[in-house]
Amino acid sequence: MDRGITDAGALVRSLYEAYGRRDWDACVPLLHLDAVYELPRTGERVEGGPAVLDYQRAYPEPWGELSVLRVIAGADEAAAEISVRGGRESDFLMAAFWTVRDRQLWRGVEYWAPLP
């Protein structure tokens, strides 16, 4: 892992920018091996960094264009507001909340809202 990225906000921004590029290799060092990813709206829960990446890779294209609108961060937590436009279903805004452990993203929750 690139130990140069230690800030929670930088980790979260890097993750979603890599998702936007579909650069799965860039995501590997960002996610903790024991990462947990949850989507409360659908009740989905994915456990393990590799499983989180498998989940993202398997999501049907086209996702749309992901843009990180802002990241708000503390020492070991960060929140991001993400815009997803031009996807196969509709346009969305998403709020993501991540906790960092061992300088990697460990626990994440995403809330998705379709745009009118």
Mean pLDDT of the 85-103 span: 89
Mean pLDDT of the 11-19 span: 97
51 Cβ contact partners less than 8 Å away, ≥ 6 residues apart: none
- 111 DSSP β-pair partners: 95
Q: Which of 5, 3, 10 is nearest to 78 (CA)?
A: 10
Task: Note the pLDDT of residue 3.
Answer: 47
Task: Please give the span between the terminal C-alpha atoms of the chain, in angstroms, as a whole number.
Answer: 40
User: β-strand 44-47 against 31-39: which pairing, if any?
Assistant: antiparallel
Confidence bin at 1 (pLDDT 50/70/90):
very low
Domains in the chain, start-ordered, CATH in brackets? 8-114 (3.10.450.50)
- Give the model confidence (pLDDT) of 38-69 as tens digits: 999 999 999 999 999 999 999 876 678 999 99
